[in-house]
A = this chain, B = another copy of it.
Amino acid sequence: MVVLQLLSFWFLILGPVVAIWPQPSSISTGDTPLFINRDIKVTYNGNPILFDPDYESPKIDSKNVVQGGVRRALGTIFNHGLYPWMFHPRNETRSFQPRLSDRSFLKILEITQTGIDNPSTFKPLAGEVDESYELSIEIDGKASISAVSSTGILRALETFTQLFYTYSSYRDYYTPYAPVSIKDAPKFPHRGLMLDTSRSYYSVKSILRTIDGCAASKLNVLHWHITDAQSWPLEIPALPELSAKGAYNPNMVYTPEDVRMVQEYGIVRGVQVVLEVDQPGHISSLAWSHPELLTAYDYQPYTDFCAEPPCGSLRLNDSAVERLLDKMMDDLLPRLQPFSAYFHNGGDEIKASNSAVDPSVGTNDTAVVSKLLQSYTDKSSARVRKAGMTPIVWEEIPVDWNVTLDADMVVHSWLGSDSVSKITNKGYKVIDANYNYLYLPCGLGQWVTFSPGSSYQNGEPFTDWCSPFKSWERVYSYNPTAGLTNEQAEKVIGSEATIWSEYTDELTLDGLAWPRTSVLGEILWTGPLNEDGQSGSRNQTSAAPRINELRERLVLRGIQAARLQMTYCTEGGNCVQPLGA
């Protein structure tokens, strides 16, 4: 323990760590500075890439993806780079910088793709794309990136940008770390963030900014929980009434063009956008257009019928429901399929009480409801299959209702490690979104209001059900495979941080999502073992300088990420909990 403590002091005394986030699998660096300027030559498989700031990728293929990645990486270094004074001792903000006289320049960045991309590279099932890469910077001025896929090249380019700093002049750019040699690959293939755009609407611009944050942190999935009970912002041209009546506002609609733009924006950044239409619960925003398809709509007291108002589920034994879903998915899914391998059918928090008042069912008998949900799920899955995609469902479908799924389907867990254990025991692949660690708006309070005299089931201090707030340290202590056997652990394809939007909208999104989602990103990239190769708590003290630096880089890239530590701490002050204290 003393050794570890000394190690952290050693970092502080020696000055900045090499602040790559997430931590690469292996990295060695030197202490020779190399400058970079806009004259750098970049080649891709031997052909020059021109740095054209106005270039916009016209189509999704390997060359365009790489070219876009290079453009953004150089733009980040030259236009949104970090002058890192806050990571060096106070009043010595210039002395840490290399001298400008006799400086050497990086002359060339040679990018080599050793494999050939195929269509699944741009919309992979978990594990289908090799995201590994190698990156080197030689002191003679040559940098090299090598990767099997264009996605690996994107990951390498993000690492590349994190090696560079802006000079105090704001006109020069350098890495202090040549020679650099990095070999890197992620441990989990599914590294995501879920955004709920039903309870609050988010502008397309804010969603694109969220994808920027994912890409900067090597996350590869944006799970777009696009509809829910509160509003229906998803335009379905075949069913225009859904959003025309169910959106909060006529301006708060995602058109097919919006959805396509978000998906393409993600793909060229190595971030797959996976849409979810939650069903048969969490869909009562259809009541604005199709009340005849719902049961228990806005029933009170809501606590008997759903987790939050307005209650309501699709009727489980009603052909009109199936016809509407057929029409909806026939319209929607073929448009998503070119850009997504998955579609999320939802399935969380279904209550049998809704079936009791469902004219097509009329009972809350679990056996009856389970059987209906099996049939419902089979049909929902078939729609996704028909479009050539793989379905995802929330855990309640197989766990609570014992619905049997196809072996390749993915189950989205949120209730914690016991659930993950149950799901993997059934043989399914799991995405974990353990609410105890990954529900990022938790702890901010109640969205429901209390009148005087109401019995405060969750009264003073009016904390919410999943309080406390998940601090970055809490997220960093998360282990996606905690308590699992090796066989179970192999079924966990990754995790998602989660932004539900009861009391969040785009004005406070960035500070809630970032950098905590990046903290999850490191766990998923580096795996469940800590830096000593052990399972168990990671070292916050050695991680802090790196996540603090990522935070500054995110801010410079336009994301209003939250501060995690005072500048006093980042500049080298001792902000470590004393041993024994």
Q: Which residues from chain A sit less than 8 Å from chain B, CB to CB? A: 1, 4-5, 8, 85-86, 90-91, 93, 199-201, 229-231, 245, 248-249, 288, 298, 300-303, 309-310, 436, 443-457, 460-464, 467-474, 477, 501-505, 507-508, 510-511, 530, 532, 536-544, 555, 560-569, 571, 573-581
Task: Name the B residues within 8 Å of A504 (CB-CB).
Answer: 562-563
Task: Name the B residues within 8 Å of A503 (CB-CB).
Answer: 562-566
Asked if A453 and B91 sit within 8 Å, CB to CB, the answer is no
CA–CA, A424 and B542, complex, Å: 47
Asked if B303 and A578 sit within 8 Å, CB to CB, the answer is yes
Q: Which of B450, B454, B460, B577 contacts A450 (CB 8 A)?
A: B577
Asked if A563 and B91 sit within 8 Å, CB to CB, the answer is no
* Identical copies in the complex: 2
A574 and B231 in contact, given A200-B566, A563-B505 (Cβ under 8 angstroms): no
Report the minimum CB–CB distance from A158 to chain B (whole Å).
22
Report the minimum CB–CB distance from A323 to chain B (whole Å).
24
In chain B, what residue has the closest Cβ to A437? B461
Query: Which 6 A-B residue pairs are closest in the complex by CB-CB distance?
Result: A445-B471, A301-B578, A1-B453, A462-B473, A230-B568, A449-B540
Task: Name the B residues within 8 Å of A575 (CB-CB).
Answer: 309, 447-449
In chain B, what residue has the closest Cβ to A531? B452
Task: Name the B residues within 8 Å of A507 (CB-CB).
Answer: 510-511, 555, 560-563
Asked if B467 and A539 sit within 8 Å, CB to CB, the answer is no
In chain B, what residue has the closest Cβ to A303? B581
Task: Name the B residues within 8 Å of A574 (CB-CB).
Answer: 298, 300, 302, 309-310
In chain B, what residue has the closest Cβ to A561? B507
Task: Name the B residues within 8 Å of A542 (CB-CB).
Answer: 451
CA–CA, A199 and B563, complex, Å: 11
A473 and B446 in contact, given A300-B574, A309-B574 (Cβ under 8 angstroms): yes
Report the minimum CB–CB distance from A301 to chain B (whole Å).
3
Task: Name the B residues within 8 Å of A86 (CB-CB).
Answer: 248-249
Report the minimum CB–CB distance from A83 to chain B (whole Å).
10
Asked if A452 and B230 sit within 8 Å, CB to CB, the answer is no
CA–CA, A501 and B563, complex, Å: 9
Asked if B451 and A540 sit within 8 Å, CB to CB, the answer is yes
Asked if A560 and B461 sit within 8 Å, CB to CB, the answer is no
Task: Name the B residues within 8 Å of A555 (CB-CB).
Answer: 507
Asked if B8 and A451 sit within 8 Å, CB to CB, the answer is yes
Task: Name the B residues within 8 Å of A539 (CB-CB).
Answer: 451-452
Task: Name the B residues within 8 Å of A310 (CB-CB).
Answer: 568, 573-574
CA–CA, A541 and B454, complex, Å: 11
